[in-house]
Structure 1
Amino acid sequence: MKRLWLKSMLLLGILWGQSSTEVYLFDLVSKEDVYAISNPINISNNPGYDNQPSFMKHGRAVLYASTRNGQTDIVSYQIRTGKKTWLTNTEGSEYSPLQIGSGNAFSAIRLDQDGTQLLYKYSMYSKQGKVLIPDLKIGYHGWVDRNRLLSFVLGDPHTLQLSALKEGKNQILDEKIGRSIHKIPKTSLMSYISKQNVPWTINTLDPETGMTDLIIHTFDGSEDFAWTPSGIMFMGGGDILYKYDPNYDQDWVAMADLNDFGLNDITRLTVSPKGDKVVIVVVEKPVDK
């Protein structure tokens, strides 16, 4: 049983060795396509694993996964007040929270101690949930609309699948993919990372036709990116935060060095619906003893 659980955790990529991750909220400002971040706040401030942030649609709160009592649950952080609320309390661990539409429900990956790993739907208030897709071992996901989602399905190889919940149908669209799956603002397209070639690429995907197109390459080993509401992409490369405007930039452009804030090793990131905040997950350096 423990071996199955460990294997699932390794596939999720959530074992960080001696490292500890923290979730930071920054102000985000832009002028004439020049972006800057400032005023970092450690909103997790918790030993262990804190990761996988996403903004609520109204932009007033951030959801993320956080460790407590030896397992991982979902937390809501209210930006104005700094209040934290634990949203799950199950025997398993939850990861990758995403609000469903603009309602009072969110989806999250639940990993039980027997190795069962499924996508659940949770109420913001009840702390319990129900299975959304019973036949897929999903590691990461992104919503197309309230009925359809794209997911990273664990397997050999890992596959990108489109699921229609009402119809109960799953369709494989690609394989050898990364963990970042996001809707492209102001379009009907989705985006994901393809690992078919080196360097890896960020691709568009039309959920209606299954057609894909190249956007840009990733940094070596980086597989987390985010979109601003105006359609600019952010991605971390080591300690540097980069931006890419598909309409103007030829390549990634450096916009911030997290060493300036005493931080390092960017992993996941997400931008607020208004484009005025960005949340960045960093790897905390271990304290020398």
Structure 2
Amino acid sequence: MKYATILLTLVALSSYAQNTEVYIFDISIEQEFVMISNGKNVSNNPGYDSQPSFIDNNTLVFSSTNNDQTDIALYNIKKDKKRWVQETQSSEFSPTKVINEDAISLIKQGLDNTQKLYKYGINDSTQIALVEDLIVGYHTWINGETAALAILENNGLSLNIYNTKTKENETVVTNIGRSLHKIPKSDLISYIDKSEPQWKIMSFNTTSKSSDFIINVIESSEDVFWTSKGILVTGVDNKIYKFEPNKDEDWVKIGTLKDESLTNITRISINNDTSKLAIVVDNK
């Protein structure tokens, strides 16, 4: 527990030391060509702004520095307005839409440096603890009651499958990265395997409890995202790459950000109808 506390403190300090911004772009995909245009800084905020996630085609949530801590910001694309989901005394990270609910799940960092999985109402002040007995780093939903968690333990992150109703928990893979995603049109989730120097993107089958290789990460870029059509995308420097599992090819560059000042993509997200691209740029 001492190690975990130190690690959590370092995570918090590194977040506040960063100067990252969240940008949204229009995207248009025509076969192998992608048009990326109309970039807009939607965080426009000193400090740490990161972990963007679309909760619908026109609404983005992300972690954002607010009065020396981190709260969850909600940005309405059509109205070009930003508001805080809830302003609390704790810091919140990794907002994700809860399946079939008007709520988001997130990592809540307590004043005692605990990191628990909570559910917050988007339009009300409700807060419900979902996972309290583990140190949660990142998460994604498998279904309405089961989540894949990246848990801080044994000097790193492990992949756990956790049922929020029954509280059943199982560690299934160790030494993983922070990027966890439900793979669209399947019952699989993807994770980053860091057990060897060459990091790999793997799929995990929650029924058979088995993992399969998808593709190596590109240039140590561990932050990836699945589009609704089952295409894997990632960002390196100012370039966007894709990988289609059903095609016999490697990563393919599909776009470049025209603004030369946006050169260090650290996070990426795309909305369900593939019309909006959100990225995080690290302004070092």
TM bin, normalised by shorter chain, reads: over 0.9
Segments of 5+ residues of structure 2 without an aligned counterpart are: none
TM-score by length of 2: 0.93
Cα 1:13–1:226, aligned 2, differ >3 Å: closer, same or farther?
Answer: farther
Q: Which residue of 1 aligns with 2:53?
A: 54
AA at the equivalent of 2:15: L
- For this pair of structures, how many residues does the alignment match? 281
How far does residue 130 in structure 1 lie from its aligned partner after superposition?
2.0
Q: Which residue of 2 aligns with 1:161?
A: 160
Q: Which residue of 1 aligns with 2:212?
A: 213
Q: Which residue of 1 aligns with 2:64?
A: 66
Q: Which residue of 1 aligns with 2:283?
A: 284
Q: Which residue of 1 aligns with 2:7?
A: 7
Deviations 1:68-94 (A, max 9, x none): 110000011001011112012211100
Segments of 5+ residues of structure 1 without an aligned counterpart are: none
How far does residue 35 in structure 1 lie from its aligned partner after superposition?
2.3
Aligned residues of 2:223 and 2:268 also touching (Cα < 8 A): yes
How far does residue 53 in structure 1 lie from its aligned partner after superposition?
0.7
Aligned residues of 1:74 and 1:87 also touching (Cα < 8 A): yes
How far does residue 16 in structure 1 lie from its aligned partner after superposition?
6.6
Cα 1:172–1:224, aligned 2, differ >3 Å: closer, same or farther?
Answer: same
Deviations 1:117-145 (A, max 9, x none): 11111111233512101111000000001
Give the whole-Å Cα distance in 2 for the aligned partners of 1:232 and 1:13: 34
Deviations 1:144-190 (A, max 9, x none): 01100001000114210000111110111100000011111111111
Aligned residues of 2:16 and 2:65 also touching (Cα < 8 A): no
Give the whole-Å Cα distance in 2 for the aligned partners of 1:14 and 1:128: 29
Aligned residues of 1:52 and 1:96 also touching (Cα < 8 A): yes
TM-score by length of 1: 0.91
AA at the equivalent of 2:120: Y
How far does residue 59 in structure 1 lie from its aligned partner after superposition?
1.3
Give the whole-Å Cα distance in 1 for the aligned partners of 2:190 and 2:4: 31
Q: Which residue of 2 aligns with 1:240?
A: 239
How far does residue 113 in structure 1 lie from its aligned partner after superposition?
2.2
Give the whole-Å Cα distance in 1 for the aligned partners of 2:7 and 2:190: 27
Q: Which residue of 2 aligns with 1:223?
A: 222
Give the whole-Å Cα distance in 2 for the aligned partners of 1:246 and 1:28: 21
Percent identity for Structure 1 against Structure 2: 38
